[in-house]
Chain A
Amino acid sequence: MRRGARFWLQLGFTVFVCLFLVVPVVMSVLAGVTENFFIGAKSGLTLRWIGEVWSLYANTVYLSIGIAVACLAVTLLLGVPAAYALARTQNRWARAFEELLVLPVAVPGLATALALILMYGQLRGFRASWTFILVGHVLFTLPFMVRSVLAVIDLQTLEDAAASLGASFRQRFFQVILPNAKPGILAGSLMVVTLSMGEFNITWMLHTPLTQTLPVGLADSYASMRLEIGSAYTIVFFFMIVPLLVALQFISDRVGQNK
């Protein structure tokens, strides 16, 4: 097939945009395993920086995983029933509630964080614990869970059939609704975990020196450590986020094909 000049021009442009996005990622991976980034690769490759990151920041990795898992549990418990109720209720109040839920995403995280601090900052125990950050993450991720479950949970016919056969509400919810809403719940879960792992805007205001999450630690290392350590730390972050992204892509492809 013959391609015109326009094709090559557009391809060139697209490749350039691609390079803009990918080159810094490659640079940070290289910098994180290079003895001295200023001298370059000839100074030798090393895992020393990764080791150093681990000794300095391992607790931020654990805390981020812990918060992400807790956040997932809470958004599942709050979000799945809420999505079901919202799908079934066709009135003004339900729509208004749906709109309200999205506000913590639409409004800058800074506002949410300031509001939480002004309201609950005096409760020392709560303020100093990781659950304070968890609250911020739940507010930020809940709409994503509700939306992805809402997208698949329209199962009125199926549920009516089950009801007409005498299934109780509990039976219908656990044996009809949940299994059929699984792709949406799965996609929502991956989304929640990915967002929670990367959340910074709210977390930066809510964290304390003892409750540093991965992105908070990243900001700290960018500001105060040498470039190689910041880069090595970024590699650790990529390492955690990429599998989540791949899984998310895989799920959304599958959900898309089923439609």
Chain B
Amino acid sequence: MAPAWLLAPAAAVFTAFWLLPIARLTTVGAGGPDGIAAYAAVVTNPAYFGSLVSTVLLSAGVTVATLVISGVAGMFLSRNKFPGRGLLTAMLTFPLAFPGVVVGFMVILLAGRQGLIGDITQWVFDERLVFAYSMAGLFVGYLYFSIPRVILTIMAAAEKLDPKLEEAARSLGASPWRVIVDVLVPGLKPALISAGAICFATSMGAFGTAFTLATRINVLPITIYTEFTNYANFATAASLSIVLGVLTWLVLNLARTFAGSTVAAAA
């Protein structure tokens, strides 16, 4: 039996600097002119609701796109051996440690006013395509942020998936599409669910990329930031951030329940 006092320092710091402040945040959220109703504002106030909806849609879109892109690339890299494979994998996972602000800058370099896509479209169509400072830019940024993480998860899961299953399906006459739907997706399901949930939760709460691209993009973290800093509207900022926190936590927990139970069923 381990001495419980070993846990005490971590527990004390965590209580003083997270649990108590979050409890305080919750009460501040209900302490505005609207009282506890402030927590419903995210649904009842059209502006906040709009920003919630666009955040959820954006995050869902990013999650689906990331899973498809990383699924194809990750499966390809783990099922084929060829010269340069290691280099490709290294390049795909390199941006893993980039903070959101740096990712935002990468999007500006790609699709900003002096960006590469602008140069190319200028050259080909004689018209500059610039979309970095909008929802589309944010979408590209979150893709950039999520792909490395999800590829790593999928490659790790694919290593554990027996290639003989795919061969058996193929030799029994399954089309490549059926192999994907009937063998690969079910086999990778726990990894897809947990990677997807993390991707979704990160996109919901991310702040740095949106902040770099444009502080007027209508997503919830930016709304919270503006309410807090520009309008000193502490109660609204507090209640919105609690709602956002609960939402991301729920998604992560749901995913874990699902991914966990399938893991158990497979084992």
Give Cα distance in the complex from A258 to B72, angstroms: 30
Give Cα distance in the complex from A234 to B91, angstroms: 18
Q: List 18 A-B contacts (CB under 8 A).
A: A10-B73, A13-B76, A81-B10, A82-B7, A82-B11, A85-B3, A94-B7, A109-B205, A111-B242, A114-B238, A118-B238, A198-B99, A200-B101, A201-B207, A218-B105, A219-B101, A222-B105, A230-B105
Q: Does A123 contact B (CB under 8 A)?
A: no
Choose, from B17-25, B32-40, B160-168, B257-265, the stretch at the interface.
Answer: B17-25
- What 0/1 pattern do residues 198 to 233 of B give for CB contact below 8 A with A? 000100111110011000000001001100100000
Give Cα distance in the complex from A120 to B72, angstroms: 47
Q: Which listed residue, B22, B207, B208, B252, touches A115 by the CB 8 Å rule?
A: B22
Contact, CB under 8 Å: A88 / B2: yes
Chain B positions within 8 Å of A79 at CB level: 10
Q: Does A45 contact B (CB under 8 A)?
A: no
Interface centre among B18, B206, B207, B228, by most chain A C-beta atoms within 10 angstroms, is B18
Give Cα distance in the complex from A11 to B79, angstroms: 12
Q: What would 7 more interface pairs be, CB under 8 Å, given A11-B82, A118-B234?
A: A27-B109, A79-B10, A85-B2, A108-B204, A142-B10, A200-B100, A205-B225
Q: Does B1 contact A (CB under 8 A)?
A: yes
Contact, CB under 8 Å: B221 / A108: yes
Choose, from A17-25, A50-58, A65-73, A181-189, the stretch at the interface.
Answer: A17-25
Chain B positions within 8 Å of A142 at CB level: 10, 14
Chain A positions within 8 Å of B248 at CB level: 106-108
Contact, CB under 8 Å: B72 / A13: yes
Q: Which listed residue, B99, B114, B224, touches A199 by the CB 8 Å rule?
A: B99
Q: Which listed residue, B20, B91, B237, touches A119 by the CB 8 Å rule?
A: B20
Chain B positions within 8 Å of A20 at CB level: 110, 143-144, 147
Q: Does A138 contact B (CB under 8 A)?
A: yes
Chain B positions within 8 Å of A116 at CB level: 17, 21
Contact, CB under 8 Å: A37 / B114: yes
Q: Which listed residue, B6, B7, B208, touches A201 by the CB 8 Å rule?
A: B208
Identify whether the interface residues of A are mostly helix, strand, loop, or mixed. helix
Q: Does A255 contact B (CB under 8 A)?
A: no
Interface centre among B3, B147, B201, by most chain A C-beta atoms within 10 angstroms, is B3
CB-CB under 8 A for A200 and B208, given A85-B7, A101-B14: yes
Chain A positions within 8 Å of B69 at CB level: 17
Find the A residue at minimum CB distance from B221. A110
Chain A positions within 8 Å of B201 at CB level: 106
Contact, CB under 8 Å: B88 / A18: yes
Chain B positions within 8 Å of A86 at CB level: 7
CB-CB under 8 A for A219 and B95, given A13-B76, A85-B7, A104-B18: no
Q: Does B56 contact A (CB under 8 A)?
A: no
Cβ of B64 to closest chain A Cβ, rounded Å? 16
Instruction: State which residues 94-108 of A face B: CB under 8 Å.
Output: 94, 97, 100-101, 103-104, 106-108
Contact, CB under 8 Å: B4 / A85: yes
Contact, CB under 8 Å: A118 / B28: yes
Contact, CB under 8 Å: B92 / A27: no
Using a CB–CB cutoff of 8 Å, the interface residues on chain A facing chain B are: 6-7, 10-11, 13-15, 17-18, 20-25, 27-28, 31, 37-38, 74, 77-79, 81-82, 84-89, 94, 97, 100-101, 103-104, 106-112, 114-116, 118-120, 135, 138-139, 142, 146, 169, 194-195, 198-201, 204-205, 215, 218-219, 222-223, 227, 230-231, 234, 237, 241, 244-245
Interface centre among B1, B9, B21, by most chain A C-beta atoms within 10 angstroms, is B21
Contact, CB under 8 Å: B13 / A138: yes
Q: Which listed residue, B24, B106, B147, B249, touches A118 by the CB 8 Å rule?
A: B24
Contact, CB under 8 Å: A21 / B207: no
Chain A positions within 8 Å of B107 at CB level: 24
Contact, CB under 8 Å: B207 / A204: yes
Cβ of A193 to closest chain B Cβ, rounded Å? 10
Contact, CB under 8 Å: A22 / B20: no
Contact, CB under 8 Å: A108 / B205: yes
The 6 closest A-B pairs by CB, nearest first: A108-B205, A88-B2, A115-B21, A24-B106, A119-B21, A107-B245
Find the B residue at minimum CB distance from A227. B114
Q: Does B53 contact A (CB under 8 A)?
A: no
Contact, CB under 8 Å: A111 / B10: no
Instruction: State which residues 49-71 of B face A: CB under 8 Å.
Output: 69
Chain A positions within 8 Å of B207 at CB level: 108-110, 200-201, 204
Q: Does B186 contact A (CB under 8 A)?
A: no
